[in-house]
Amino acid sequence: MDLNELQSVQSRERQTDSLQQLRATFYRDAADYIADLESERDAAAERADDPWNAPEVGRLNDDIDTGKDTVEAIYERRVGKIVKMASLAAADMPTGDEGLTEEEQALFDRLVSAIEQNREGVFAILDGEDPPVDPTDHGAADREPDAQTPTAGPTDGVEAAGRGSRDTGDGGTVDAADLMADGPDDSRSDAGPDPAGPDPARTDTVGSGPAGTDSAGGAGPASVDRSMVRITDDVGPIYGVEGREYELTENDVVTLPEPNVGPLLEKDAAERID
């Protein structure tokens, strides 16, 4: 491995929304390469009369910094795609999960398990039942279920997504973390979902109904200002600040909370409809 290979991987990862295949030991190989550079730098510093001003030491320091930054950028780009892929896999939809590194495969498996368990808990609450796994228990996915707790399995529907990002076509990206704004109010989690409230798996995509109304038949919480926009890029699933999930694809017309609209407009992923 060398710096050219790392930069080539980074370039290809930026150019596509799908994961490129990497060998299972990619990150370990990158760590070994950077460690070799550090050893080479240390040896060069020992040979130099003035290590602080030695050109070879400076070059190696630059290569080390560039290598680390490049690997981090590769990971950040790929992890967003892995989160999106895990949400599809948890919904029992086909995914191409070949080519993951060892570390990414472990992350993918944990995400799928966590989404499945959380979804089953939420749907059980909506049905007026005791959830097999408490959806507010952050450590539930890391523990083995006991004999009375069945492992959550996949069900149908649009699933909760994570922090994937998508290219907007002009070199920028739309990141789910940007679109979530302040996120849902955590103080609502203790009280549980309102049985009379909207189904969290439904979106506000406007169909043939009157403009300004959503597909759930309401205008959303009165405390949140909402705006109608047309989606101009495939964004994917996001969470609104009121806690609802929205699946956003190109040409959708949706009413969204105003705090979620701003990042979409900034990324040229949406346009307002007056």
Question: According to the model, what pLDDT value does residue 274 have?
Answer: 66
pLDDT at 215 over 80: no
What global pTM score does this model have? 0.48
Question: According to the model, what pLDDT value does residue 137 have?
Answer: 66
For the stretch 130-157, pLDDT in tens is 767 665 666 555 554 444 444 444 333 3
Question: According to the model, what pLDDT value does residue 229 have?
Answer: 87
Question: According to the model, what pLDDT value does residue 28 have?
Answer: 95
pLDDT at 181 over 60: no
Distance, CA of 72 to CA of 74 (rounded, Å): 5
Q: What share of the chain in percent tops pLDDT 90?
A: 28
Residue 162's pLDDT band, with cuts at 50, 70 and 90, is: very low
Question: What mean pLDDT do residues 233-238 have?
Answer: 86
pLDDT at 179 over 50: no
For the stretch 20-74, pLDDT in tens is 899 999 999 999 999 999 999 999 999 998 988 899 999 999 999 999 999 999 9
Question: What mean pLDDT do residues 177-200 have?
Answer: 41
134 vs 105, higher pLDDT: 105
Question: What mean pLDDT do residues 171-178 have?
Answer: 46
159 vs 126, higher pLDDT: 126
Q: What share of the chain in percent tops pLDDT 70?
A: 65
Question: What mean pLDDT do residues 115-121 have?
Answer: 87
Q: Name, in order, each residue with C-beta under 8 angstroms of 152's C-beta and a sequence gap of 6 or more.
A: 113, 116, 117, 118, 119, 120, 121, 132, 133
Of 14-23, 32-41, 77-86, the range with the highest mean pLDDT is 32-41
Nearest to 230 by CA among 216, 211, 210, 245: 211
The DSSP-derived string for the chain is: --HHHHHHHHHHHHT-SSPPP--TTHHHHHHHHHHHHHHHHHHHHHH-SSGGG-HHHHHHHHHHHHHHHHHHHHHHHHHHHHHHHHHHHHTT-----TT--HHHHHHHHHHHHHHHHHHHHHHHHHTTS--SS-TT-TTGGGS---TTSPPP---SSPPP--S-EEE-SSS-EEEHHHHTTT-S-GGGTTT---TTS--TT---B--SS-TT--TTSS---TTS-EEEEEE-S--EEEE-TTS-EEEE-TT-EEEEEHHHHHHHHHTTSEEE--
Question: According to the model, what pLDDT value does residue 203 have?
Answer: 39
pLDDT at 262 over 80: yes
User: Out of 4-18, 26-40, 197-211, 259-273, which region has the weakest mean confidence (pLDDT)?
Assistant: 197-211
The DSSP-derived string for 202-215 is: ---B--SS-TT--T
Q: What is the mean pLDDT of the chain?
A: 73
